[in-house]
Amino acid sequence: MYFLTEQDPNYTVKGSRDPLGFQVLWQAAGRTMIPHISTVSSSVKDFQILCIAHYLKEKFAMEDASFDLFFIRLEQLMAYTRYERNKEEGFNGIDKVRRVYENANKELRVSNNPSDQILSNQKAYGIWGKYTRPFSDMHFTLDSSFKEIFEAKIEGNKDFINQATLLKKKEKEQASVISKEKLHFYYDLLEKPEQTEKELFTTKLLDDTCNKELFQIFSSNKELLNLSFYDLLQALRSHTSSDKLQYALQLIYNTEKVLSPLNRVFRYLQTQSFWKKEEIEKDAFIHSCRTEVDTALFDDTTKQLASLLQNDSNWELAEGLTRRNEEVSLRRSSAPWLQQTAAGIEVNHFEGASFSRNYNPALQNDNHYFLNTYVSLYKQLNN
């Protein structure tokens, strides 16, 4: 059995795009193997920028209240630096950064004013909102090597220190003017981590719950990095003797064999406004989504969901999904997306409706359990 973990508000689904409340279930399964990184904390450079900011926080003795405002300004400075350094690189805010940079003559504005922010809500949707929780959970700044690494990296760059000092002095709405000609002085701050910095990032970003077993497997078997989800889970199982990793991999495999087909059936039901009971009972696609899963590792909630796939009645499956959506909606004080009536099921909300005739629950998945992020970070650090 495993235990549900509290969802991190920085990387939970915004709004109500999780109508069956599945996110907390796959996150809990994923956390049995990968403890800290999230689905949206997938950029080494974004973590580097947070490290730079926290080093400066200590250097300038900034209070928390002023640090978050300073960080918004610093993120803008580094965003323009990233764009000029490599115009093909993608990152949060790239569209605004590209437009402002290309339309500017010689100077760029950096401030906390909404008109200068690189996202509609930069604090929520930029590095601060997406990376602060995992960065804190990894205890980056408490590592014995942190200060030495970033002192050597930053203190030798006098142009950057001068610019950061100016950013720190600005009040909330005051703008700093950045010369485009000086951005190249900051390029080296965003170089791929090497030596001790790489060691630090490897230790923090590629952590797992099994004494770095996952990292060791990928390091010895690089071909695994490009496998599809289920093939990767099976390959990892064949390369480990760790009972803890075996448990996590089996739990993830079994959980997705439940959540993905149920999600596909729910999204399929959304494709029309009303379903008669007999329509559902005869539907070939709903019938094709059946899977058989060992439920021994599941908690009661996931066992109950798995049971919906283990009977022959399409109607009971759809009825169970409708009840699940009603329960989730009630907890959120919102209206249910599906409602059962005497004649069938009425659909009230169509966001996310989809249908793929070629969907195969034995081969396709909908959730990645933080594995995609882990593999992406591994490639950035080692390729």
pLDDT, residue 165, reads 95
- Please, are residues 355 and 267 in contact by the beta-carbon 8 Å criterion? yes
Looking at residue 287, its amino acid is H
pLDDT, residue 171, reads 73
CA distances from 100 to 148, 170, 185 (A): 35, 21, 20
Q: How far apart are CA 150 and CA 70, in angstroms?
A: 18
Sheet holding 344-347, edge to edge: 274-276, 344-347, 338-340
pLDDT, residue 75, reads 98
Q: How far apart are CA 285 and CA 342, in angstroms?
A: 23
pLDDT, residue 9, reads 44
Which contacts (CB < 8 Å, 24+ apart) does range 281-288 have?
281/313, 281/314, 281/315, 282/314, 283/314, 285/355, 285/357, 285/359, 286/314, 286/317, 286/318, 287/314, 288/359, 288/361
Strand partners, 275: 345
Q: How far apart are CA 328 and CA 334, in angstroms?
A: 9
Q: How far apart are CA 343 and CA 274, in angstroms?
A: 9
pLDDT, residue 173, reads 72
Backbone phi and psi for residue 5, each to the nearest 5 degrees, phi listed first: -105, 155
Q: How far apart are CA 340 and CA 330, in angstroms?
A: 15
pLDDT, residue 8, reads 46
pLDDT, residue 2, reads 42
**Which is nearest to 107 in space by CA: 59, 177, 155?**
177
- In this predicted model, what pLDDT tens digit does every residue of 75-106 receive, in sequence order? 999 999 999 999 999 999 999 999 999 999 99
Find all residues with CB under 8 Å of 114, minimum gap 6, and list them.
Answer: none
CA distances from 173 to 103, 109, 114, 360 (A): 22, 11, 9, 53
What is the CA 309 to chain-centroid distance, rounded? 28
Find all residues with CB under 8 Å of 149, minimum gap 6, and list them.
Answer: 196, 197, 200
Q: What is the pLDDT along the chain (383 residues), one digit of tens a residue?
A: 444 444 444 444 443 589 999 999 999 999 999 999 999 999 999 999 999 999 999 999 999 999 999 999 999 999 999 999 999 999 999 999 999 999 999 999 999 999 999 999 999 999 999 999 999 999 999 999 999 999 999 999 999 999 999 999 987 678 999 999 999 999 999 999 999 999 999 999 999 999 999 999 999 999 999 999 999 999 999 999 999 999 999 999 999 999 999 999 999 999 999 999 999 999 999 999 999 999 999 999 999 999 999 989 999 999 999 999 999 999 999 999 999 999 999 999 999 999 999 999 999 999 999 999 999 999 999 98
Q: How far apart are CA 168 and CA 58, in angstroms?
A: 12
- In this predicted model, what pLDDT tens digit does every residue of 158-187 receive, in sequence order? 999 999 999 999 876 789 999 999 999 999
pTM of the model: 0.92
